[in-house]
Amino acid sequence: MNRNDPRFDLLEKLRAEPASPELVSELEAVLRSDPEFRREYLRYINLEFQAPAALQSIQGPRPEAEPIPLPRLEQSTPEPASPKPPGKRPGFLGQWRPLAAGILLGMASASWAISQRLPFWIVKSVPIQNADFEKSAGMLPSVFPTGPGLWSGDPTEVAPPPIPVSGSLALHFLSPAGPSAAPGANSCDAYQWVDLRPFHSMLGTNPEADLELSAAFLDARPQPGTPVRFTAYLFLFQAEPTSGELSRQRLQQETVAMGKKSWVSHGGQPVPEWKTLTARCAFPPEADWALLQISAGRDTKAGTPLPDFGQQWADQIQLKLRVPSTSSPQTGKTP
């Protein structure tokens, strides 16, 4: 769905102004009758809430940030307004609880129906350059990548980890400061662009295909300390990057899908263990490029200090395409 689609105007109205009962009824009717719009609606909400957190990881804190205006239902019987803490806005589900509950229930039913109709998945590995970091050791380029096939970003190196998970080398997070980091950056990040165009032929007309990014992380600190948030991010774009800047505006306007998975560690395990995170997102047919972001940084809780870097690691980066099928890949039979 593009910005010229009349249905996009409906989303913009709900986002920009208080939602009247007429607008809510119109939205419910479209959601019930249009499966494509249901997927776009959930993706729209997903981007509204996840993109700011991802942007903060890439660019650092945004000064004097204004909250994103969200729709609110007008009630037939107004209730007295209760005092609200300064700087806080009511939650999305608090304002849209009846509608959100109906949508979630409907999507859960649809997911169950799909699971009964499409029990098999065709899984295809998407190539990532130096995904296991075994091809070369040393510092990664401290620049934001402008093309596929290269790990780069904040100061990171490929070196022997204290506890290997596979092979003898892994990605070592060193510092959030560097040419690719914004002032006040909260994390140390490594990036790689991946070309998705060779995999469009596998999608066909199936709207349920998705991408799955997994990465293993290690917090090797011998003593408990300031929490570290490890995150695997997956952004999908329609166009290849043309500059080294991934601006906030570009993420909001050009990201067609995204997923992330995080883990907060305090360190201090008697025997440190690797933790595998898996992020998933839909693979729409207009997505030509994926941006992988592997991150270690400050916990997002207010007041949490920046952790000490030097004992955080990542390895075993994998990207997989999953396409549901009505027949078994092994037998070709439909259940």
Instruction: Tell me, yes or no, whether 68 lies in a domain.
Output: no
Same structural domain, 128 and 111? no
How confident is the model at residue 143, as a pLDDT? Answer: 83
Same structural domain, 293 and 187? yes
Mean pLDDT by 10 residues, the chain (335 residues): 64 64 75 73 58 47 41 40 45 44 51 48 90 91 81 93 92 77 73 91 78 97 94 88 53 80 94 95 91 92 85 96 70 44
How confident is the model at residue 318, as a pLDDT? Answer: 96
CA-closest candidate to residue 87, choices 57, 62, 61, 66: 66
Element (H, E) at 300: none
Same structural domain, 147 and 39? no
Tokens representing 113 are 């129906």
How confident is the model at residue 198, as a pLDDT? Answer: 92
Burial bucket for residue 208 (CB in 10 Å: 0-12, 13-18, 19+): middle
What are the percentages of helix, strand and coil residues in the chain, rounded to 5?
25, 30, 45
How confident is the model at residue 164, as a pLDDT? Answer: 92
Instruction: Tell me, yes or no, whether 6 lies in a domain.
Output: yes
Instruction: Tell me, yes or no, whether 331 lies in a domain.
Output: no
* CATH, residue 308: 2.60.120.260
Instruction: Tell me, yes or no, whether 109 lies in a domain.
Output: yes
Instruction: Provide the domain count of the chain.
Output: 2
Same structural domain, 188 and 217? yes
How confident is the model at residue 121, as a pLDDT? Answer: 77
Same structural domain, 180 and 107? no
End-to-end CA distance of the chain: 33
Give the structural domain span for 263.
123-325
Number of H helices, E strands in the chain: 6, 12
How confident is the model at residue 127, as a pLDDT? Answer: 92
Same structural domain, 155 and 100? no
Instruction: Tell me, yes or no, whether 75 lies in a domain.
Output: no
Measure CA 309 to chain center: 23
Same structural domain, 132 and 151? yes
Instruction: Tell me, yes or no, whether 72 lies in a domain.
Output: no
How confident is the model at residue 105, as a pLDDT? Answer: 53
How confident is the model at residue 287, as a pLDDT? Answer: 92
Question: Contact 258/47 with Cβ under 8 angstroms?
Answer: yes
Same structural domain, 134 and 269? yes
Instruction: Tell me, yes or no, whether 269 lies in a domain.
Output: yes
How confident is the model at residue 290, as a pLDDT? Answer: 92
Same structural domain, 181 and 112? no
- CA atoms of 104 and 235, how far apart (whole Å): 24
